[in-house]
Amino acid sequence: MAKGTIMLPLDAALLRKGERVCCAVSGGADSTAMLLAMVEANARKESLGIELSAAHVHHGLRGAEADADEAFVRELCQRLGVPLTLVHVDTPARMADEGEGLEEAARNLRYEALRGLPVDAIATAHHLDDQAETVLMKLLRGAWTEGLAGIAPEVQADGPRTIRPLLRVRKAEILEFLEARGQAWREDSTNRDLSLTRNRVRHDLLPVLRQFNPQIDALLAGMADVARDEEAYWQDQLPPLLRQMVLPGKPVRGGGRASSTAVGSASCALEIERLKALPAAMRRRVLRAAVRGLGHRLTAEETAKILALAGFGGYPGVLGKIGSRLELREGLRVERSARELQISRQG
């Protein structure tokens, strides 16, 4: 395929003229393609009009392989005429200091370094296949809509915002784009490590699902968009409702309510009659947000059990009777009184 015949459709809505945009370049296929596509789009007559730069983070892991990644990105940027910031971080030290796992420590250090750069936006090269994997992994872990929202196309922050202009582009398109230009990239050896869940989802699970529906990646990515909008809607709707519905603390003899002063303990209550007046979708959200306010994230199963305790639907082994009680994970206890669901957490 001749150079230039295949383009990568960058999400133009995320790119604003005059802004300083820094591409986070690992040297892998995705970020190499993103940088190249941005350089090309900026050079076209209808230019993006952005001030382009790049950054590469050396995580202090993978020895010579990481040194070669850095050298690759340095040469790429030199050839493209893009100013590059190289950052060295010490992931093993972070793991020891903060007790974080390897991936988490590397990611946190990377984002901290990138967000500290004097630019308006950091562009990462997450693409549609990454999104599909993320949504599937969240689903497997039992996520609700907030988790199913997956990777956000844009994240506002105090410093530069994070943008993902390739989030609607398939991995195959990225590879075609690079091959059409004869552009090499670096392969990360950990991408083949099947002890990592993401790699098993990518190499084992998704290929099977594609046999049932070849469009599964796009469907999962579409689900992320829907879930993100649903979440935003509820984030808007819930606060005033929670102020009306959630009674803080516990009722005390003689009237009124008292919040516990014991360290690590928190409680609230929901009036059952008021819950009854809500549509089921809203009721579930209110319950979930009330418990979230106590620092606990309910699973789907826990939510169903608590609703059954309050008399909304059934759950095997749960009695919807006054005086019944549930003991859940992480010190969460829910008790049904005559009028209320009383929720407390000892943690």
Ligand X SMILES: Nc1ncnc2c1ncn2[C@@H]1O[C@H](COP(=O)(O)OP(=O)(O)OP(=O)(O)O)[C@@H](O)[C@H]1O
Handedness of CA 12, 15, 16, 17 (dihedral sign): negative
Instruction: Indicate whether 269 belongs to the interface with ligand X (CB under 6 A).
Output: no
Residue 169 DSSP symbol: S
CB of 132 vs ligand X, minimal distance in Å? 13
User: Is residue 221 a known part of a binding site?
Assistant: no
Full DSSP string of 142-168: T--HHHHT-S-SEE--SSSEEE-TTTT
CB of 69 vs ligand X, minimal distance in Å? 7
CB of 106 vs ligand X, minimal distance in Å? 7
Count of residues in contact with ligand X, rule CB under 6 A? 13
CB of 104 vs ligand X, minimal distance in Å? 9
For residue 31, the one-letter residue type is S
Q: Which stretch binds ligand X (CB under 6 A): 19-27, 91-99, 225-233, 308-316?
A: 19-27
10 Å Cβ neighbour count for 183? 15
For 311, residues 6+ apart whose C-beta sits below 8 A from its C-beta are 272, 320
CB-wise, 38 or 245, nearer to ligand X?
38
Asked whether the beta carbons of 62 and 189 are under 8 A apart, the reply is yes
Provide the CB-side half-sphere exposure for 16 (13 A, CA). Answer: 11
CB of 297 vs ligand X, minimal distance in Å? 20
CB-wise, 61 or 282, nearer to ligand X?
61
10 Å CB burial of residue 299 (0-12, 13-18, 19+) is: middle
Instruction: Indicate whether 31 belongs to the interface with ligand X (CB under 6 A).
Output: yes
Instruction: Indicate whether 333 belongs to the interface with ligand X (CB under 6 A).
Output: no
Instruction: Indicate whether 32 belongs to the interface with ligand X (CB under 6 A).
Output: no
User: Is residue 28 a known part of a binding site?
Assistant: yes
CB of 38 vs ligand X, minimal distance in Å? 12
Q: Which of 53, 124, 145, 267 binds ligand X (CB under 6 A)?
A: 124
Asked whether the beta carbons of 224 and 148 are under 8 A apart, the reply is yes
How many residues comprise the chain? 347
User: Is residue 106 a known part of a binding site?
Assistant: no
10 Å CB burial of residue 263 (0-12, 13-18, 19+) is: exposed
- Residue whose token pair is 């009009």: 49
* Cα–Cα distance, 170 to 218 (Å, whole number): 9
Asked whether the beta carbons of 135 and 148 are under 8 A apart, the reply is yes
Q: Which of 14, 15, 30, 345 binds ligand X (CB under 6 A)?
A: 30
CB-wise, 25 or 119, nearer to ligand X?
25
Site for ligand X in 212-231 (CB under 6 A): none
Instruction: Indicate whether 25 belongs to the interface with ligand X (CB under 6 A).
Output: yes
CA distances (Å), origin 5, targets 49, 76, 179 = 22, 21, 11
Instruction: Indicate whether 57 belongs to the interface with ligand X (CB under 6 A).
Output: yes
Structure tokens at 206: 């998704």
Q: Which stretch binds ligand X (CB under 6 A): 11-19, 51-59, 226-234, 278-286?
A: 51-59
Q: Which of 89, 125, 245, 247 binds ligand X (CB under 6 A)?
A: 125
CB-wise, 94 or 126, nearer to ligand X?
126
Q: Which residues are annotated as a binding site?
A: 26-31
Positions in the binding site for ligand X (CB under 6 A): 24-26, 30-31, 55-57, 107, 110, 124-126
Q: Which residues are annotated as a binding site for ATP?
A: 26-31
